[in-house]
Amino acid sequence: MARWFCYLLQCADGSLYTGITPALERRVTRHNDGSASKYTRTRRPVRLVWSEPWPDRATASRREAAIKRLPRSEKLALLR
């Protein structure tokens, strides 16, 4: 059973935001409230476009770091 999620948000300006959380719906709500991250605060509304479950924070964090290193084209390929 997954306890952590790695996720991608599409922001109102078309940019992509990558993050991790143990509570996906709550985190997306916080992004849209403007209380989750400085980056998404000025790019609302955001929309969850991709997520992937992970068993623990460490593996979710490693996946997040790997995705952040990808070029935009490869991030968009994850959505397909």
Sign of the C-alpha dihedral, residues 18, 21, 27, 30?
negative
What's residue 1's pLDDT?
67
Rounded CA separation 30/10 (Å): 14
How confident is the model over 2-24, as pLDDT tens digits?
799 999 999 999 999 999 999 99
What's residue 27's pLDDT?
98
Q: Exposed, middle or buried: residue 22 (CB in 10 Å: 0-12, 13-18, 19+)?
A: middle
Task: Report the amino acid identity of residue 44.
Answer: R
Which residues contact residue 78 at a Cβ distance below 8 angstroms, ignoring those fewer than 6 apart? Answer: 8, 50, 67
SS3 (DSSP) at 49: strand
What's residue 68's pLDDT?
98
Give pLDDT < 50 ranges for the chain.
none
The distance between the two most distant Cα atoms of the chain, rounded to a whole number of Å, is: 34
Could you give all domains of the chain from N- to C-terminal order, each with its CATH number? 4-78 (3.40.1440.10)
